[in-house]
Structure 1
């Protein structure tokens, strides 16, 4: 909103008074300096705030498949999480997603996860002014972490903490859990330093592939063997752990591992 230009107020005298005053010695009021220009006149209209601060967002589940936020969206709050992208096996996982959706269509409406990744943190909230400092802290914490190549193995059913959504996920091969835990530990320490919630204990490393609304754990476990057979048609699912990402709203930071 532009600053309001109230301007200086003045009262004009009648023509007779002006004529009379012209023949008199200047008074104190006639010697006053002209009103100074307003801030609006000097600086122009006030610039709008950056997009992320313009207004509060009203959560409408209808806009994102009926999903409900775990925490309220408020101005200046940035949903934040740390992850490893599953780019190396993305094509294979996307093929499985399509097959699984078609296979379970008579029983359940599944949605494919758009972002295929392995999470290394919970989704937490950062304030805008914390983002750059948090990113630097994470970069320092991961500076000694060593990358490796892992694989995903099998399928597992998960629900979120509120049990409002159920997920089908591909877990990390147990042979690589120790190496992934070594990368998780410095991330957890940064979370602790910022008084944010750490990762789940015990950690369960996985790539979420599909989801549906509600608690459908029992139904999906009944169908798990059929889904496993679909996944077995794929070649080895390789997960290249050579970089870690930080997602803050629409910002994405990348940290290369050794």
Structure 2
């Protein structure tokens, strides 16, 4: 028997063994109702630096009682475009005193920001183009300042949390122009635009449930205390803004203004 014939016979025998083995495996799986789930390749588990996760079951007890406003779903990424606010030590001390002397049971935010979009649900395959678009928007605007103006009470749409916020206004309406430009981008992606009757603000305290009635009764005292603070610290009423930020999942992007 020639070498070629030996190879052909070996391949034929091997194919027959594989076919027999496959038939036996299929019968075994059918008989025992076995469902085999192949592991996801490592190359996919950590796309774009965003860790892959199995289905997430929300547990409010792990988040001080807070409830997610939308269900976590694989392939959907919670997204927000915003401006950072870093309070001075004096303002931070004032915020803590608001809890002690006025509000009582509430929580101080660990980080402070002013939202420029709603919290969005972004599909994975949109991320690169969305990030590039926000970057281009940032490069079309110059640095600007915002003024901390007053105090206002807010409640989220499903009435699960109430917030105490500092209302803000920008010089030359730059803030409104940026949000208007971002709204056009949202429309391109068929995402919800910013709130129609927007009140630009920086939330600094929150509490569970709808506490508007209780907190709005305290509002005159809160506003008076806020104004007294800036009589003593007039230089801290204005904040310089030099970048936009975008958080997508657990990844943070920084975009410098002109």
- TM-score, normalized by the shorter chain, greater than 0.5: yes
1:31 aligns with 9
Quote how far apart the aligned CAs of 1:176 are: 3.5
> Residues of 1 paired with 2:152 and 2:40: CA distance?
53
Q: So what's the TM-score if we normalise by structure 2?
A: 0.77
Cα deviation digits, residues 19-51 of structure 1 (max 9, x gap)? xxxxxxxx9899313859x9xxxxxx9744237
Quote how far apart the aligned CAs of 1:151 are: 1.5
Q: So what's the TM-score if we normalise by structure 1?
A: 0.77
> Residues of 2 paired with 1:164 and 1:125: CA distance?
20
Cα deviation digits, residues 208-246 of structure 1 (max 9, x gap)? 110111111111111123323443325233322211111
> Residues of 1 paired with 2:201 and 2:187: CA distance?
22
1:15 aligns with none
1:117 to 96, 113, 119: 113
1:210 to 200, 205, 211: 205
Does structure 1 residue 243 correspond to structure 2 residue 243?
yes
Secondary structure of residue in 2 paired with 1:53: coil
Mapped contact 1:93–1:209 kept (Cα < 8 A): no
2:149 to 150, 153, 165: 153
1:127 aligns with 123
1:191 to 176, 181, 186: 186
Cα deviation digits, residues 49-97 of structure 1 (max 9, x gap)? 237333011111111111111111111221111111112x343442222
Alpha-carbon distance change, 150 to 214 in structure 1, aligned in 2, over 3 angstroms: same
Instruction: Flag structure 1 segments of 5+ consecutive residues without an equivalent.
Output: 1-26, 39-44
Mapped contact 1:53–1:76 kept (Cα < 8 A): no
Mapped contact 2:81–2:244 kept (Cα < 8 A): yes
1:162 aligns with 158
1:12 aligns with none
> Residues of 1 paired with 2:114 and 2:71: CA distance?
24
Instruction: Flag structure 2 segments of 5+ consecutive residues without an equivalent.
Output: 19-38
1:99 aligns with 97
Higher relative helix content: 2
